[in-house]
A = this chain, B = another copy of it.
């Protein structure tokens, strides 16, 4: 999921990827989280207490963003059709997604924006401010630390860590980079449960282990490496190089199609150009 984006498959596909299960998207791509793999014999297969499908969860952030924009514009209600168009999905899918949260719509009218924003935020756990730690402050790590998009949505950066003594002590985005030796203490003290990995691939597993040992149970990694984690830890992977390679695959195919279309033989008669604009949704 890259990624996953998952989707990301996410991404599926595209995109970001989930640990167990896909979105992907096209994106993602992407793998699933949680207790996926196990085919419990006959027993109870508690998918999720609230039974919100993973695919739906992956779209909630998008809906939330769109809805937030509507709130700022003072829009009181939206129809599923409008909201779906703005979010780049089909209206039926959107209605089904929202129905998993319980009914906040009014037939004949649409959805009330404010209550919906509140509900999705609560469902995503954004009513509390999650604090994350970033491990690895190379180019990407520094960019992430400085990225405003996190704080903007209830995700604050608690601390930064790096294994390189030359980086430790530097100030990035108002925080001083700390040595890995302090990681466990800070994570425990601050109650951090989500970590962001931006280390080189070779260091990713080690850093991940340290995060998990300290109590982190959710990891977002940018390292192009497969991570092993204990059951109960979620890993979402964003793999930039993979995303580009997937695009390259499609470009190559398009090029091949173009050649084939130009050539006379067989299946040249294809509907080639349809000028309609397509809304493209979120990965994965």
Contact = CB atoms under 8 A, between A and B. Distances in A.
A47 B58 CA distance: 25
A264 interface: no
A226 interface: yes
> How many copies of this protein are present in the complex?
2
A275 interface: yes
B19 A280 contact: yes
Given A58-B26, A194-B244, A16 B238 contact: yes
A274 interface: yes
Contacts of A55: 5, 9, 12-13, 22, 24, 29
Contacts of A25: 1-8, 54, 58, 236, 283-284
A57 interface: yes
24 contacts: A2-B5, A2-B23, A4-B10, A4-B29, A4-B58, A6-B8, A6-B58, A7-B24, A7-B281, A11-B58, A13-B55, A13-B270, A16-B267, A17-B281, A22-B58, A24-B55, A25-B58, A31-B270, A58-B246, A140-B143, A150-B240, A150-B241, A228-B278, A230-B276
